[in-house]
Amino acid sequence: MKEFKPLFEECAASPLYIAGPCSAESREQVLAAAEGVAKAGIKIFRAGVWKPRTKPGTFEGVGAEALEWLKEVKERYGLYVVTEVATPEHLELALMAGVDGVWIGARTTTNPFAMQQIADALQGVDTAVLIKNPVIPDVDLWIGAIERIYNSGIRRIAAVHRGFGTHHATLYRNDPHWSVPIELQRLLPNITLISDPSHIGGRRDLVAPLSQQALDLGFSGLMVECHPMPDSALSDAMQQITPEVFSGIVSTLKWRRTPANNNLLSEYRMHIDTIDSRIVELLAERMEVAREIGVHKRHHGMAIVQRERFNELLESAEARAEFMGLSRGFIHLIFSAIHEESVRQQSEIQGEN
């Protein structure tokens, strides 16, 4: 059984909040973000110095120069500062600058060679390490990365859930696959598990609901991207919120901690919650496709409701339900409601100019 320690003793009480910009862009931007974060009563500040970007030619962070600004954040506001490292060189520079912790990004966690190099460089070092989930929903790959860091002697470790890459359109930028972090928590019950609703949702309006969902599922904290002027952010502008907005969200969040020694009932409930999340996600995905069909129908001057099509769909859903031990009536009701909502959404599209 692995024995993890809290990232920072002072922040051992949950929930644990980490906030700050996606990237450190300038001294002024970093200090303004840190001032807002400190005013919100949050103790841990994040900012990316080196940014792993999907495509070349986008802003890749200012590099080591930004470490000086993080030093200033510590001195001025007394915040703990954390940044992303992807190589032993990044790690060495960050530690020399006195950061209090580092996070390993999703792309790095995916690569065991890169993880081992960082783990080797952490031998004999006392720092906090946050390990984001790999880009694919593979719990063993995530745990393997955590084990490498643990084996190098680090005990102040947190796992950060930031969702998983997906090739199909979903409501989210990165599919949450809640069952993966829940499985991680089952296998490593005493690890600090943090959610990153900014990278999961990819949208400002999803930060609040995803944060509450994570807390409801037993996560111990949140890492949220906060920028003093989100619209002008050089990376991830769509998902960043101001520290003031985050402070407002924090004040509305409900914290219902399940007992540490999870009893069977709370395990069942967590399972139900995961299934319910999947149902909502699938419904959102279905409506997205229904809207696309709506655009197609409008383009070709077709009627919205095609009775035959609906009858076929209903019959096949009811037959499948019966085969799986569910009543036809129950499925009839649910699919009628789903169909009604699709028709409503398509009517909206027909009505657009």
Which stretches does DSSP call E strand in 169-284? 192-195, 221-225
Q: Does 22 bind Mn ion (CB under 5 A)?
A: yes
Buried-exposed string 110-149: b where 16+ CB fall within 10 A, e elsewhere = beeebbbbbbebbeeeebbbbbbbbbebebebbbebbebb
Identify residues 103-132 at the interface with ligand PEP (CB under 6 A).
105-106, 132
Question: In this chain, which of 236, 249, 294, 346 binds Mn ion, going by CB under 5 A?
Answer: 236
Type and span of the H or E element at 19:
strand 16-20
Identify residues 147-176 at the interface with ligand PEP (CB under 6 A).
162
- CB of residue 195 vs Mn ion: minimum separation in angstroms? 14
Residue 132 contacts which entry, Mn ion, ligand PEP, none (Cβ below 5-8 A, type-dependent):
ligand PEP
Q: With beta carbons less than 8 A apart as the criterion, state whether 298 and 349 touch.
A: yes
- CB of residue 31 vs ligand PEP: minimum separation in angstroms? 19
Identify residues 298-317 at the interface with ligand PEP (CB under 6 A).
none
- CB of residue 83 vs ligand PEP: minimum separation in angstroms? 10
Residue 184 contacts which entry, Mn ion, ligand PEP, none (Cβ below 5-8 A, type-dependent):
none
Chain-centroid distance of CA 85 in Å reads 18
User: Residues in contact with ligand PEP, total (CB under 6 A)?
Assistant: 8
Binding mask 16-35 for ligand PEP (x = CB under 6 A): ------x-------------
C-alpha to C-alpha distances, 102 to 97, 146, 182, 212, 236, nearest whole angstrom: 12, 13, 23, 25, 20
Token reading at 141: 């790959």
Q: Does 90 bind ligand PEP (CB under 6 A)?
A: no
Q: Does 199 bind ligand PEP (CB under 6 A)?
A: yes
Nearer to ligand PEP, 24 or 321 (CB): 24
The secondary structure of residue 220, as a DSSP letter, is: -
- CB of residue 252 vs ligand PEP: minimum separation in angstroms? 23
Q: What are phi and psi of 129, to 5 degrees?
A: -130, 125
Q: Give ∠ CA 46-152-45 in degrees, rounded to 5.
A: 10
Chain-centroid distance of CA 339 in Å reads 31
Nearer to ligand PEP, 43 or 51 (CB): 51
Between CA 70 and CA 59 the distance in angstroms is: 19
Q: With beta carbons less than 8 A apart as the criterion, state whether 62 and 20 touch.
A: no
Residue 106 contacts which entry, Mn ion, ligand PEP, none (Cβ below 5-8 A, type-dependent):
ligand PEP
- CB of residue 340 vs ligand PEP: minimum separation in angstroms? 38
Between CA 150 and CA 167 the distance in angstroms is: 32
- CB of residue 106 vs ligand PEP: minimum separation in angstroms? 4
Nearer to ligand PEP, 177 or 199 (CB): 199
Token reading at 229: 């002027």
Interface positions with ligand PEP (CB under 6 A): 22, 48, 52, 105-106, 132, 162, 199
Residues that bind Mn ion (CB under 5 A): 22, 236
